[in-house]
Amino acid sequence: MSSSTLSGIPGPPSHHRRHRRGGILISALVFSVIIAFLLAGIGTFTVSHLSRESTEASYTSALDIAEAGVDYELRKISSNPSNADQYNATTQSGVTYTLGNGTYTVFCENTDGTTPWVAPNDMYLFSTGTLNGVSRTVRVAVKGMYKFHYTLFAQQKATITGPATIGPDIGTNGVVSISNTTVQGTVVFNNDPSLTPQWSGGSPGSTKYQCYANPVVWPTVLNIALQQFPVSSYPPGGLSYIASNNDNNLITPAGVLTNGTQISTNASTTITFYGKPGGANYYLTLWNMNANPNNIVLDNTNGPINIWLGPFESSSSNLWTFNNTTNITQKSTDLANGCRIYVATKTAIKFNGKTTLDAGIYCYNKDLSTGAEFGDFEKTGGASIGGSTQIIAPIIGMTGSTSFNEVSLFQQPDYYGTNNLWMEINGM
- Select from 224, 197, 191, 419 the least CA-distant residue to 310: 224
Work out whether strand 415-425 and strand 134-145 pair parallel, antiparallel, or are unpaired: antiparallel
Mean pLDDT over the full length of the chain: 89
pTM to 2 decimals?
A: 0.80
* Buried-exposed string 124-143: b where 16+ CB fall within 10 A, e elsewhere: bbbbbbbbeebbbbbbbbbb
CA angle 321, 347, 165 (to 5 degrees): 60
pLDDT at residue 84 is higher than 80: yes
Q: For the segment 118-148, what is each residue's pLDDT rounded down to a tens digit?
A: 888 899 999 999 999 999 999 999 999 988 9
Backbone angles phi, psi at 352, to 5 degrees: -115, 15
Q: For the segment 170-198, what is each residue's pLDDT rounded down to a tens digit?
A: 999 999 999 999 999 999 999 988 999 99
Position 100 scores a pLDDT of: 93
Position 13 scores a pLDDT of: 58
User: What average pLDDT does this structure show over 278-302?
Assistant: 95
Domains of the chain: 14-146+415-428 (3.30.1300.30), 218-406 (no CATH)
- Select from 278, 348, 349, 339 the least CA-distant residue to 306: 339
What percentage of residues in the chain have a pLDDT greater than 70? 91
CB 86 within 8 A of CB 105: no
Helices (H), 213-354: 221-228, 238-244
CB 317 within 8 A of CB 352: no
d(CA 218, CA 221) in angstroms, rounded, equals 9
Position 407 scores a pLDDT of: 81
- 25 CB-near residues (< 8 Å, 6+ apart): none
Report the SS3 class of residue 399: strand
CB 313 within 8 A of CB 282: no
Report the SS3 class of residue 428: coil
Position 5 scores a pLDDT of: 45
Q: Is 116 exposed, middle or buried (0-12, 13-18, 19+ CB in 10 A)?
A: middle
Q: For the segment 188-246, what is each residue's pLDDT rounded down to a tens digit?
A: 999 988 999 999 988 888 899 999 988 888 999 999 999 899 999 999 999 999 999 99
